[in-house]
Structure 1
Amino acid sequence: MSHSTSEKTIAPKRQRMLDMVLALGGLKEESAIPLGKVKEELENLKTKLAPLTDSILAFPDSYFGEFLQAFEKANLTSEINDKGILQEAISNLEQSRSITESESLKGLLELLSDTLSKMTVVEETQVSIDVDMGAILSIISDLTSEIELVIIQFEETSKAEAESASSELVTLIDALKEATEKTETDPDLALAEFQKIGTKTRYGSGLRTTAQVKRGKREERIDDVRFSKLVKENILNEVHRGIIMFILGKMGSKTVVQAGELMNISPQIVQNALVTMIQRGEIEMVSLEGDAPVFSKMLTETPNSTLVLKRIVQQVRGMTKSLEDDEVNTASSSLEKLQTLHERLQILGTYDETALSESLNKLRETVDSATEALLSSQTSDDAENLRLLVSAGLEAFARFRLKITLEKGPNLVSGTNVYGEKLDPEVYQTMMDTYLENELERGTILILIRELGALAVKDLGERTSIPPDRILRHLLRMKRDELLTTAGESHGYILYDVPRTPSEAEIIVQTECSLALQLSEAKAELVRILGDFNAQDIGKLATSLETFARARDKLVTIKVGGAIVDESALIEVENKIQSAVMLAYRTRAKIPSTRPKVTLEDLVDVDVPSVLDEYKSQMGYAPLLGFGTVNWEHSKCLGCKSCELVCPEDAIELKPRIEISNFFETSDEALAELPTNRSLFYKTLQNLATVKPSKDIQLKKEAPGFGSVEVDLWLCVACRTCVRRCPGPERGALELELKWNLPEVVKHITSTP
């Protein structure tokens, strides 16, 4: 049975997606309405949107009302200990209420404000802390071992991921080798191969450079000589950087030599590539392996757990200076382990912080208690200033700058440096006074923030005698050293806090209040857009709705008391947002467009697994897209039409065309797998022919057992039905590859009248 064109109908949803692919790419304009009808179309859109947007606008207040009830019922305020997080949450709620009125947010704000007030009540009497330091050090040692076990699991997971990526890397390296060989003979083909490698490594700089060179050649702005040189040098270097980024992302931190061995290129080439990547801010050096620097991908933000562990290391280092005898040895042993663990976390880069949360929080609390005990034992009840000074001193003497000055300074006074210069004793004394004053002030600031929570310059100025300009300089320096982080704002002042690992309740409060602010802003923006709606606002409308969608996707992951808050409302609003966005885009597609055109040469194959992974990382779930490419292998095909008969979408057809040249390319091994009659037929043709034919034979009618399988990629939904039903030898003549040949699809559908 042959298929006629009229029989091939496309499902409405799929046809709609096709139209959007073409229209958004500028390859085809949808039927644009006349300019005189634009206003009418916008009014129709507003009418259709009204019931949807009313529900969307009412959603935040309804949801946060339910959240407030669940929050109070679970008594989560009792689990909040971080003042910085609480202050940030309150600040977000205050901003939210200044944008839109909400009774539910008002109630939540009052609850959190009351909690903060109770936390900030200052005890009038200081209670002397009497603790067993030996027991505390034992707990620190045990918790350090627990953390080490978790980090070992992280490293094993990272190693397993690296091993799974090694086969993919081998494919990339083979492709790189083949493409590099073609740079001398066929630069155009080499560039195309490099571009394919770039789509797999997803290295943005390389993809942009490749596109620019390709466009320049197409527009004849780059001559052949220059083009060849760019491909052999610039593009090849970008491909190297892309593969290096792939290695660092999938296989972990590496040295120059290790990366060179994996890529089968010289360390010098790797080093040159790394220099540029460092300048671009794409990678950083995280440690040393012997004398060799270890490089890793630049993180957009250092994980809080890494920062917390760094702070703990500094505290334990300070503690050891106040201990004696066996306690010093125990603390020093834990300190050495903690320093190593911190370095290992730096090499890992990103990891699942929740796995470390419990042990790290216990360790932080234990170390804080030990530090407080040491300080309390050195002060009297009425000497708070002295206690703060001693605490700041311990903090200061743990810092590298002061230590190196104390260690190296006297040598420069009594001796000379490598240049034969000698340090004047008075200069050294002045320098020491400055360093000591700076480090003591920074230690004071750290202790206050650690004890009182996030503070601003104004707050620190009121609690110390340090001038505000000096406080600001200290804060900026400590933030650069990753000793402090910003924690929102309070009355226009930036708050600074030490890195903390929040509890589950603190994460819930932090996330909910942040989303409350986002939703309030989106709500106000949506009201403004709908108030004076015009064609230019459709994009803003979609963006505003997508803000609601992103917030909703985060809210659905939050559980209070083991259950998702107002789950039915979250599902309902998701459907309404999707409907509203679809209406907006459909209307936008009807309005005359001035979008720039793209060409078929600008399109690349769609790597379906990568799309799924990227979509899942952004949206939290991966839909079944139903896209792929069915590949046909002539040597295994029996011409039985099973695939054509079972295809539910009429996407596959056995054409009455014999690709005679394929008969002569079938190997003896493949022939041995075929039925005897068919194998004998192939061998007979091969023996009788004097010249290998190059043209296909077009049959006037169908011939059972012969033909060429063609798959309509647009109609195909990658269901694998044909693959499963194929009776061909081994696994059959058909195989589904999870790639969508977008250039071929677009070329086909744009050429269809």
Structure 2
Amino acid sequence: MIEIPPKRKKLYEFIFKIMDLKKADEEKLEIRIENLNEFELLTTNLLEQLNSVNKNLIIKLEEIDNKKNLIKKIDNLEFFRQIEKELSNEKLPIDVELKVNILKILETKAQKVIEKGEVSIFSSKVTYLENLTAIDDILNQLKAKIDKEIEFQKLNISKNEENLTQIMNLFNKLDAINNFNEASPILKEYTTSFYSKNSSYIYSQLKKSYKNNKINDKRADILFNNQLKPNFIEAIILYLLSNFGNMSIDSMHIKTKLNSKRLFASLLSLIEKGLIIEVGEFEGHHIYSNNLLGNQLSKALESIKDKLNSYKIEVDKNIQVILPKLSLKLNNLIELSNNLIKINFKIYETELNDLEKILRALENLMPKKTIIDQDLKFKLDSMIEAYKMYRLPLIVEKDENLQKQLVDEQRISDTFETLLSQDYLKGKIIWAIKKFGPLNIIQLEAYTNIPRSKLFILLNILRMNDEIIIKDAHEEYQVFNIPRKPSTLEKFLNTFFDNLFKFIKTLDFLKEKSKNIAEYLFEINELINKIKGFLIEINKLNIDDENFFENEFVYIFEKIQEFNDKFLSLRSKVIVGERELDFSKLVPIKITKVDENYSSLIKPEEIIGFGTIESDEKKCISCGKCERICPENAAILEKRWNLTLLFEMNDEEINLLPENKREIIFLIKKMAKKRPSEIKLPKDILGFGKSVFDPIKCIACKECLEKCPNKAIIFEEVWNIPEIIKNLSAQKIF
């Protein structure tokens, strides 16, 4: 379908509406609307039935697996990887619940894989998705609790005022004393009623050192005045920001009556420690905020929750990439939370502990390294693969003479190392692909320790012997796999999932088209019959001549048949009701510019100009400038060259042609036995070809006219409406 420029679309739509209103038969229009409504109801009912099919199919598959144990019987990990790859495809419109149900059915195979020491590609995803949901719930609880606590603090400003008055009274008593010994009783009362971890620690250390005679009276007094008092001021600032919100230094001075210089020194210390931050300016004053408040945690939660949904979507792409990202986010949250607990925000402790448990559970799902640790087992497995390929003589018969026997054994051993080492290395390659699935040359080098130069030769030998095949490409390297024929059970599951995924995609497409029955009526009917085809393929499936899906789609097939019958009976009525346009009154019109009387009603950016543009083939040098400059892609340099017109030209006219065409025409005229009509040109060749202009897309901006280097573009101020409207009508765009 042609893409119409926005600058023309409204105008074309308006013309169609005017024509339709002039010609429309009200009775026919009513029939059309009535029948479309009937179709809409019919489609909606069928969609409701189809929506439950995929879920029922998975339930049925689980029943079959429980009865036949077919999934455990399949010993081809690559087969399951392919299904997992399809499920991970972001273009597959499958909901999370259905995906988890499929993965759970395949989890029996995953268990078998774990027993081999490999990583489950299924169970980890199921658990991962379930854990993400659990994390989501905890984050919601945690945020609700934090928001409630923040609100509670706001509602208890008066209580906070009382506490602040009590704290400042105690501090003022302390501040008036310069002797540590005299201040001890007040210090004890102060640290009991107003807990500050840092202040309490300094006080206890100072008290302990003084008591044990490690510092004298003078030193104790200096530490009391120079360290402990400023630290108390820091604790007061943190209390203010925690209970009264963001504040400037002047606001703190008003609240506490403390000296502004002392407040400023303590603020700098807190900023350096990362306990508070500057958040902006108000009326020339710097505003400070507590960096370890509950609302900081609330913001962190919001950030993590925003990421959580994207992680749920991305989980299919690569757990190894997504999980560390999530772990980092949650670890940051836990670290922030622990800081809160340290400053007496213990209300979040239970939820944070739950969060930490889930994080650890998720970390346990990280794929383990699959490189073999035991080199001996690796060599043995490789030799077995070599033996399977060539039946190598691994056992040496004893000779009568012991000395001769030892010599022969050594000789055979040396022969194996030199002459048969290539087979051993090929055995390594086969073993690695069997163990880890399809691998490229980089991965094979890592798993087998065979140099890449040797690997290249060995892989080519194995390919020529049909022992391995090229599966696809990964990161610009070919991926190798072992050729094998699918088993009956694999064919069964492959057909099932292939048609299930096609069904899901087509159903999603059908839902989208059903939003506009009038426009996509015939496509909807075609999509429904495609869906029926996928279900018929599943319906044919059987194991040991037992058809498990025989009665599964009877009702759905009846509904589809009912839809098709009604579609056939109603289709003619709908077509009868379609509009008929009268083109006889349409004539080309000359519009040089928008009439001044209407210029205020029409936006210039919507309608630039009108006219018809053509290319003069005798002048056109086929440089492609018009194609590149056109803002609406209306100009196209066609890859064909009309030679008939050029052969009809006389020598005088040919001499007026651009040089590139003139020389070649003279040459062709001399060599040609008969007149050529038209030749096709290679892609992206400049200098030859024909410039054509799409009248529907052209907005008559005249950009090409101005840029043409050989004045080969002809512009007529006549708008060919008949041609444009007929083309649009034929394409059923409006």
User: TM-score normalized by structure 2?
Assistant: 0.30
Greater C-alpha radius of gyration: 2
Comparing both chains, which one has the higher relative contact order based on Cα–Cα distances under 8 Å and sequence gaps of 6 or more? 1
User: TM-score normalized by structure 1?
Assistant: 0.30
